[in-house]
Amino acid sequence: MHIAALISYNYNPSFQAKIDTNYFHKKALSWNLGMIARTNPAAVENYFAQMGVWAGFNKGSGYANKFVSYCCLKAAEIFKQLNFILPPKIELEDFRNFNLDSGTTGVCFFRSGGDPRTPIRSVFFNSFAERAKKMLRGKQVEINWENFPLIAADAKDNNWLSSEHYLAPFIHEFAHNLHYHKLYSKYGCPEPNQGYVFNPAVDYLLNKLNEPIAQNNPFVPTSLAIFINDNVGKYAASSLPETFAEIFTQKIVKNLDLFNLKLIRNPFENSSKNNTLDRILEEIWEGLIGDNQGLIR
């Protein structure tokens, strides 16, 4: 199915307007919110099915189904531009079923734990069925996808996230999927899976990577933890997989056409060993930890 069939119409601006940046961002957001309103979640599910990805966008409100399916579609287009692997399963879900915090936007399962609902590298996004609220700029705001652009902007202002873009949580979770695929392809998988060699010793690597950075992490020097916090965000400084996903997301968003949400250039093409963020990204990508070399020890 052609992408244009998933929404009422398509648009690709043929000019680069030299206007105020904030105005341009607002116009682009307004345009894409209009596209979200016209999105057919069932058609997006069919689109993913044709790529061998099981997708379900029918467990939220009407708006949540449209918002999440549209953003997953756009994240998938970006990954296809880069020839990156997609998650095997993408679903909108009530996160109370996973005992996850009501404010969590998404999750990627790096192991299934024997649960057929959550195959390795599957990605889920919160339906926000709990209707939780948070204080935002002096007001009680319901946490949902309709308010997400405002919530994300506030999170970026408070140095929590690397990007305020509404596509960021979708790129972030897809990045986790890509990272685990890389690690399991290189080192083996911690549980039996037909796509990888079984290697239970990989659990040791995953435990090192997922050790909280703030708690005297032996692999992340304090100076590096401060650098990540200051240059990427507080959430990135929670664990190394989150550092990877947030730097990855930051790079993608900085190279997006804000209207059609496709990459203008490859954000990873000119990575440099002299760039600290590029070095961090590469070391986590390769699982280089515990060797007392590099930025990550």
Lowest average pLDDT, out of 2-6, 156-160, 170-174, goes to: 2-6
Question: According to the model, what pLDDT value does residue 236 have?
Answer: 95
Tell me if 208 sits within 8 A of 201, measured CB to CB. Answer: no
Question: According to the model, what pLDDT value does residue 8 have?
Answer: 34
Q: What percent of the chain has pLDDT over 90?
A: 74
**pLDDT one-digit tens code per residue, 230-242:** 999 999 999 999 9
**pLDDT one-digit tens code per residue, 11-21:** 333 334 333 45
Q: How far apart are CA 57 and CA 40, in angstroms?
A: 10
Non-local (6+) Cβ contacts of 287 within 8 A are 182, 183, 186, 187, 205, 209
Lowest average pLDDT, out of 46-60, 253-267, 268-282, goes to: 268-282
Question: According to the model, what pLDDT value does residue 174 have?
Answer: 98
What are the structure tokens assigned to 251, written together? 């790079």
Helix (H, G, I), strand (E, B) or coil at 198: strand
* Res. 280: pLDDT tops 80: yes
Tell me if 176 sits within 8 A of 245, measured CB to CB. Answer: yes
Overall pTM > 0.85: yes
Nearest CA-CA partner of 173 in 252, 272, 116: 252
Q: How far apart are CA 208 and CA 292, in angstroms?
A: 13
The mean pLDDT of the chain is 89
* Res. 9: pLDDT tops 70: no
Tell me if 153 sits within 8 A of 163, measured CB to CB. Answer: no
Tell me if 123 sits within 8 A of 174, measured CB to CB. Answer: yes
* Res. 189: pLDDT tops 80: yes
* Amino acid at the residue 197: V
Q: Taking every pair of C-alpha atoms in the chain, what is the biggest distance, in angstroms?
A: 55
What is the radius of gyration, based on Cα positions, of the chain?
A: 19
**pLDDT one-digit tens code per residue, 141-150:** 899 999 998 8
* Res. 182: pLDDT tops 70: yes
